[in-house]
Amino acid sequence: MKPKIIIGTVIIIAVLAFLIISGVKDSTVYYMTVSELHAKKSGMQGEGMRVSGYVIPSSILWDAEKIQVRFTMAEGRDSLHVYYNGVKPDQLAEEQEVLAEGKLDADGFLHASKLLLKCPSKYEAKLEEQNLSDRQK
C-alpha cells in the first residue's frame, strides 16, 4: 500500500474516534438521589447529573414573566434547590416524585435542563380497575 493511503486512513480513524469519545463524554450524566449528591457535593460542580427526590411542600415558585420555576426537592433530611427555565410541568406538585437533569453550580443549586415527573398513583389505580373490567368481559 502507498504511505499516503495509510496515513489518510489513520487520520480518518483518529478523527472518528475523537468525535465518538467526545460525544459520549458530553452526554454522560450521573444518576443519584438527593442524599447521595450531598455526600459527594464537593466534586460535582459543573457535572451533568440526574437527581431524584420529592418536591417539598410550599417550595414551588413559578415566575410567568421569566418562564422559570424554582422548587426544593428533598430526600430525608437532605434538600436541593432546583432552577428550571421553561414552562412549568402540569404534574409538578407538592410531595411529587421528580427527576431533575442538569448541572450543579458553585452555590449548590441545580440548574435543570429537564424535569421528569412520575405519574401520580391516582392514574395507576384507575388503570388497574380498567384492566380488571376488561378481563371480566
For 33-59, write each residue's pLDDT tens digit: 888 888 877 777 777 889 999 998 889
Rounded to an integer, the average pLDDT of 68-94 is 88
Phi and psi (nearest 5°) for 53?
Answer: -175, -170
pLDDT grade, residue 104 (50/70/90)? Answer: confident
Q: Which domain holds residue 61?
A: 26-136
Is residue 12, in this structure, part of any structural domain at all? no
| C-alpha span between 116 and 11 (Å, rounded) | 41
Residue 47, pLDDT score = 78
Q: Which residues, 6+ apart, have CB-to-CB distance to 56 below 8 Å?
A: 71, 72, 73, 74, 79, 94
Is residue 79, in this structure, part of any structural domain at all? yes
Is residue 71, in this structure, part of any structural domain at all? yes
Strand bridging mode 78-85 / 110-117: parallel
pTM of the model: 0.66
- Would the pLDDT of 110 be above 60? yes
Any idea what the CATH number is for the domain that residue 92 is in?
2.40.50.140
Largest Cα–Cα separation, the chain: 74
